[in-house]
Amino acid sequence: MDLNLFDVAGVIALMRSVGTRRPLCPTEAMSLNLMARLAEIGVIECGWPEEWSPDSAVHLTPGEGVAWRYDPSAPEELALHAYSITHLVTAATDPETEPERTEFWWRLAEAEAESYLSYQLDRYRLNPAWATEISKYFRSVGPLTIAEWRYCVWAAARRGAAEYLSSDGDEDATSHAVLTELLWRARQIHAGTWANMSFVPLQREPYTLLAQVFAQFFVPRELDYWTSTPADWSLERERTATSVFTEPGQ
């Protein structure tokens, strides 16, 4: 079985979902896509439990309530777990996997921003579905930390609430104001015009299971999931490697 980095992280996240109430991924769409991917490559089966044999160990994803079981043709659970952990540990220090790790971060960061925007819009009784629009522009801005995106999202939702009131509930004008404010603030931060504009959660550990796996294996201990980017992690690894190499007596 040939699994990529996202696949094996998804396997570990799904295994950890058994017995917990935390969601798999920051957005439901990302969780469902992950489940579909694992089913496609033959790790799990999703479907209707009543169609499966009575001796099947059936699980439900905690956030979405999707029924799943391990594919009978897949490796045994312990072997699958060992393979996935080994893959993650190896990839954490392999320079050749850096593009894959970076792409993984982009996907998570976008989902975190979308999830937080949906939450903020709902707080102001605006349409949370507008949050999906962020995917069209997210990568055009450049890499901000997730905490910086959370600040931009917070400000954009407030701007949208003000526009909704001033426009007598014009949804087109409101959604446009939200997106415009979001991108303007993100570009100001990326350009270095503003500094220290970020919202870091009180709980520093990522809430969702896939993000926890990512942070555990790929974010250096000296840094933070919310306040750093893959560029920071590469520099930290280079600094650590250099300090170890030059340590007297080594």
Indicate if the pLDDT at residue 249 is higher than 60: no
Matching residue, tokens 């992280």: 9
Tens-digit pLDDT profile for residues 127-171: 999 999 999 999 998 889 999 999 999 999 999 999 999 999 999
Beta partners for residue 225, in sequence order: none
Task: Tell me the H-state helices in 98-137.
Answer: 98-123
Tell me: the pLDDT tens digits for 52-111? 777 668 888 888 888 898 998 888 999 999 999 999 999 998 989 999 999 999 999 999
Residues in the chain: 250
Residue 207 CB neighbour total at 10 angstroms: 13
User: Which stretch of 31-35, 52-56, 186-190 has the lowest confidence by average pLDDT?
Assistant: 52-56
Residues 203-246 have pLDDT tens digits of: 889 999 999 999 999 988 778 899 988 887 765 555 554 443 33
Confidence band for 173, pLDDT divided at 50, 70 and 90? very high
CA 105 to chain centre: 7
Q: pLDDT band for position 248 (50/70/90)?
A: very low
Sequence spans of domains, the chain: 5-91, 94-235
CATH class of the region 5-91 = mainly alpha
